Amino acid sequence: MPPLRHRFRLLFTALALTTSTALNGQVAPATRTAGALSGDPFSFRNGRTYVSPRVGVGLYGTASVGGEFEIPITRPAQPTSGIIGVGAGLDYYGYSESAGGFSASSHVIPISVFGNYHFRKVFRDHRWDPYLGLGLGYYIITWSSNVPGFTDSGFRQGGLFVIGRAGLRYFFSPNLAVHLQAGAGFAPLSLGVTAAF
């Protein structure tokens, strides 16, 4: 019969091994799930801010630069229910031509606010984040020219425009994604990255 101290030592060792095995079986999978926050395995989720710098194609076919941020504002009723996010964006692009000593140029700054609906049942892989969005924007156009009849240098105008778009993100990690977006507005096509904070 082993001494009492030795039996307690064996009992404590067996209890520690059992507890460790149980914890590894229950906690580890949740920890490995795409950097889940609050048990949510999807890459676009509540409690985070998503910042997306981008380059794109403007209305004149010229390159645009800009970015946007987005914040989720709803919580899914079911694990696969969609999430609504709201945000704002700012872009810039310009256009210029010159010939025979004459030149004309314009600069466009679109400012937008939007809402996106992020789908959760399209892909089995939770790293994909497809969405559709609607929004409203305001554009500022500055025009300058030395062409006879079009010499309104510094002319500026602005107006409202409606935004309709579709987008897709792929998260390489819980905090970084590539971001593709297309739709109606002043930057019809854009490509960028998304950082989550």
In this structure, what DSSP letter does residue 40 have?
B
Burial class (CB in 10 A: 0-12, 13-18, 19+), 183: middle
pLDDT, one tens digit for every residue, the chain (197 residues): 444 444 445 444 443 443 343 334 333 333 333 333 344 567 888 899 999 999 988 766 788 899 999 999 998 877 778 999 999 999 998 888 777 778 888 888 999 999 999 998 888 888 999 999 999 999 998 888 776 766 566 677 889 999 999 999 999 998 999 999 998 766 678 999 999 99
**Alpha-carbon gap, residue 51 to 164, rounded angstroms:** 20
Q: What CATH number has the domain spanning 41-196?
A: 2.40.160.20
Q: What is the DSSP string of 105-161?
A: EEEEEEEEEEEEEE-SSS-SSTTEEEEEEEEEEEEEEEEEE-BTTB--TTEEEEEEE
- Report pTM: 0.72
* Domain limits, the chain: 1-32, 41-196
